[in-house]
Amino acid sequence: MDKSKQVCKPQNKTTISLQNVTISYGKFEAVRNVYCDIQKGKVTSLIGPSGCGKSTILRAINRMNDLIPSCSLNGRVLFEGADLYDPRIDPVEVRRRIGMVFQQPNPFPKSIYENIAFGARINGYKGDMDQLVESSLRQAAVWDECKDKLNDSGYSLSGGQQQRLCIARTIAIEPEVILMDEPCSALDPISTLKIEETMHELKKNFTIIIVTHNMQQALRVSDMTAFYNAEIKEGAAGGKCGYLVEFNDTDKIFNSPVQKATQDYISGRFG
């Protein structure tokens, strides 16, 4: 990473702003009236019980919800001041700036090297590819396991290594924001720990938003935490509709939550 970027990055600056966002599947609201400002250079976790719409919110940020035909969004999602749901916006360009890591490790059926180079190439990378592959794998803390078999298939790696390969693949396109949708839910505890360590390194260069159902993980990795809850609602998607309960610094959420629902959730009284 070049230094100039870090120097000119102001602290505590909002990079993504959700303004009264309501997302519906068909006629049914999945999550509604979300206001949330996500700060640059920080790790933000979205937590909450299942069905509270936290993954839906995450996917809305890089317009992955476009893939679900019935999904629609009301309100505004601002990225560096630009409305991502302006009709003139190209979702492909959005995803080149806001990359995503998914719940299941999903390497391409290509070599480890090509897995990294693929994304960089489609983004028009003009630098030294070997160097980019190496630095991406290093940042994702999977270089040592991969360096001797860059030409092997991505599937030859273990699950945890595959997930870190997917993180490296996302880092390689140098997005401004990385979205992670429960990246450790399919992994064992040791791989989870490694990925959490990776995230600590990554937040020096990237803004990270992570959805997790593991509260300890949220506490370990994130600076800010948003707690979502769901209420039973007639006619909502899955019978539930999610909303944002509380959004604050992680230690405030876990130590002195304002809302009773947050208190109940983090102390394990429901969810």
Partner 1 sequence: MSERKNDQFQRRNRPPSEKIIDIGFKNLAIAMASMVAVILFGILLVIFLGSIESMGRYGLRFLVTSDWNPVTDDYGAFTAIYGTIVTSVASLMIAVPLGVGTAIFITENIIPQNIRELIGIMVELLAAIPSVVLGLWAIFVMEPFIRPFLTSLNNSYSWIPFLSTEPVGPALAPAILILVVMILPIITAISRDSLNQVPAKLREAAYGIGATRWSTIFNVILPAAISGITGGVLLALGRAMGETMAVTMIIGNSNNFSLSLLAPGNTIAAMLANQFGEADGSQVSSLMFAAFILMILTLSVNIFAQWMVKRLSLKY
Partner 2 sequence: MNLFYKHTSRRNLSNTILTLITGLFATLAVLPLILVILYVLIKGASQININLLTQLPEPPGDDLNSGGIGNAVIGTFVVTGIGALIAIPIGVGGGIYLAEYSRNGPFSKFIRFGTNVLSGVPSIIAGVFVYGVIVSTKVIFGSNFSGLAGGIALSILMLPTVIKTTDEGLKLVSDELRKGALGIGASKFITITRITLPAALTPIATGIVLALARAAGETAPLIFTALFSFYWAEGSEALLEPIATLSVLIYNFALEPYEAQNKLAWAASFVLVLIILTTNIISRFISKYASSK
Among 42, 53, 79, 202, the residue binding partner 1 under the rule CB under 8 A is 79
Question: Cα–Cα distance between 11 and 81 in angstroms, integer?
Answer: 16
Please, which residue, 165 or 266, has the CB nearer to partner 2? 165
Q: Is residue 101 near partner 2 by the rule CB under 8 A?
A: yes
Residue with Cβ nearer partner 2 (64 or 157): 64
Q: How far is the CB of 103 from partner 2 (least distance, A)?
A: 9
Instruction: Residue 88: name its binding partner from partner 2, partner 1, none (Cβ under 5 to 8 Å by kind).
Output: none
Q: How far is CA 21 from CA 17, 57, 244, 257, in A?
A: 10, 9, 10, 23
Does position 73 interact with partner 1 (CB under 8 A)? The reply is: no
**DSSP per residue over 196-252, as a string?**
HHHHHHHTTT-EEEEE-S-HHHHHHH-SEEEEEEEEE-TTSGGGEEEEEEEEEEHHH
**Which one of partner 2, partner 1, none interacts with residue 169, CB within 5 to 8 A by kind?**
partner 2
Q: E strand or H helix at 209, and its extent? A: strand 207-211
Nearer to partner 1, 123 or 214 (CB): 123
* Residue 2 binding: pick among partner 2, partner 1, none (C-beta 5-8 Å cut-off by kind): partner 1
CA–CA dist 57, 227 (Å, integer): 12
Output the six-digit token pair for 90.
Answer: 């190209």
DSSP category for residue 8: T
Report the interface residues with partner 2, using CB under 8 A.
62, 64, 67, 69, 92-93, 95-97, 99-102, 104, 106-109, 118-119, 122-123, 166, 169-170, 172-173, 175
